[in-house]
Chains A and B, each alone.
Chain A
């Protein structure tokens, strides 16, 4: 790892100022950043640790779940309030990485990184989440802009993420048997944001909405409604683990499982 300067600011203003430094990098749980630094794929001048900003916590109201950006996956998975309001979200958090990763990885970090196989982007997009930052509120539809790319500016920090509570939702993932990353993960939801299907792990450009699945489910909410709906494989990943054609097939299978699980 290349060395870097380290700062742990105590206020959002100080953190924003620190991130204005050229080649500064924000760190949430570090579950992606630290492996990236080890491989020398990134050479930040300063790593700005967001752990002292008080961005943790879960607030559930009658129609939304709001999660502080530095809330760990383990905390979301264990939250009785989230299990009641959006059980699919708690269940998703409980199958990210492994137990030790869930103890340190955060929702804000996951969304800021936008790994094309990450789980939370599928939930945010399917539920129509709003990502609140130090500068503005960003709709999930405008937030995800391709793999590892988001609407965030260099000195912009996610402070919380708000999910409208859906009538039905479920997340299913087909894990790579070795890495446990999603080869295909599908989040289906029927709620205030409409009937939505978001797919992670499969697309070359990261998470995406499957509009053909959405139209079929909007007409009839059932797994069988998806049976003959095709997934074009032109923009899907093809690698040693699975061809684009195989991933297209998996999208359908996993989406049907998700709809069945959502009830």
Chain B
């Protein structure tokens, strides 16, 4: 069986997988990181979004073997060791940007990528379009957009320090 060596949330791991194992299966089933969700399993809903080398990707549409040699960040890897939430998580809480919460991990990861990729700042419209790959079946988009807008200010201010 193929072996995959990767870094997940800062910890290095070498795991044996079948070639057909999806990255999300490796994370959830082999590593117990069930924060990353599988919603549609057809690359549409974005509940499975993680960062691969800092870039957002749908982990249900990536083979684990394709992640060999990469650094993966999941929702579990965002908060500081002392439990301090990432600004995006904090703003999702502050603005009540979740209802059932199922889409939230993917929303948060996709939003972090969106903000990181746009240091010039994003308008509300750009945030909405930037979330094209993430579906919220509770239709709770308004507060998600508010949370991302609030978080981008904090993230850019922190990055500039």
Scan residues 36-87 of chain B and give those whose CB is less than 8 A from a CB of chain A. Answer: 41-44, 46, 49, 55-58, 61-63, 65-66, 68
The answer, yes or no, to whether A80 is at the interface (CB within 8 Å) is no
The residue of chain A having its C-beta at the shortest distance from the C-beta of B43 within the complex is A35
A100 near B57: Cβ-Cβ < 8 Å:
yes
- Chain A interfacial residues counted at CB < 8 A: 25
The answer, yes or no, to whether A9 is at the interface (CB within 8 Å) is no
In Å, the complex CA distance between A149 and B117 comes to: 36
> Which residues of A lie under 8 Å from residue B65 when comparing CB positions?
6, 8, 49
A-B contact count (CB 8 A): 68
The answer, yes or no, to whether A3 is at the interface (CB within 8 Å) is yes
The residue of chain A having its C-beta at the shortest distance from the C-beta of B17 within the complex is A6
B62 near A101: Cβ-Cβ < 8 Å:
no
The answer, yes or no, to whether A103 is at the interface (CB within 8 Å) is yes
In Å, the complex CA distance between A51 and B2 comes to: 16
B133 near A6: Cβ-Cβ < 8 Å:
no
Interface hub of B19, B22, B46, B55 (most chain A Cβ within 10 A): B19
B41 near A49: Cβ-Cβ < 8 Å:
no
In Å, the complex CA distance between A79 and B65 comes to: 28
The answer, yes or no, to whether B90 is at the interface (CB within 8 Å) is no
> Which residues of A lie under 8 Å from residue B56 when comparing CB positions?
99-100, 103
B42 near A35: Cβ-Cβ < 8 Å:
yes
In Å, the complex CA distance between A2 and B110 comes to: 30
A6 near B2: Cβ-Cβ < 8 Å:
yes
The answer, yes or no, to whether A97 is at the interface (CB within 8 Å) is yes
The answer, yes or no, to whether A246 is at the interface (CB within 8 Å) is no
With A6-B65, A100-B58: A31-B130 Cβ-Cβ less than 8 Å:
no
The answer, yes or no, to whether A136 is at the interface (CB within 8 Å) is no
CB distance from B161 to the nearest CB of A (A): 26
- What per-residue 1/0 map shows which CB atoms of A172-183 lie under 8 Å from chain B? 000000011000
B20 near A2: Cβ-Cβ < 8 Å:
yes
B20 near A37: Cβ-Cβ < 8 Å:
yes
The answer, yes or no, to whether B124 is at the interface (CB within 8 Å) is no
* Interface pairs (17), CB distance under 8 Å: A3-B20, A5-B19, A6-B2, A8-B68, A30-B61, A31-B61, A34-B43, A34-B61, A35-B42, A47-B63, A98-B133, A101-B43, A101-B58, A103-B57, A104-B61, A104-B62, A179-B44
A: residues with CB less than 8 A from B are 1-6, 8, 30-31, 34-35, 37-38, 47, 49, 51, 97-101, 103-104, 179-180
B: residues with CB less than 8 A from A are 2, 18-20, 22, 41-44, 46, 49, 55-58, 61-63, 65-66, 68, 110, 113-114, 130, 132-134
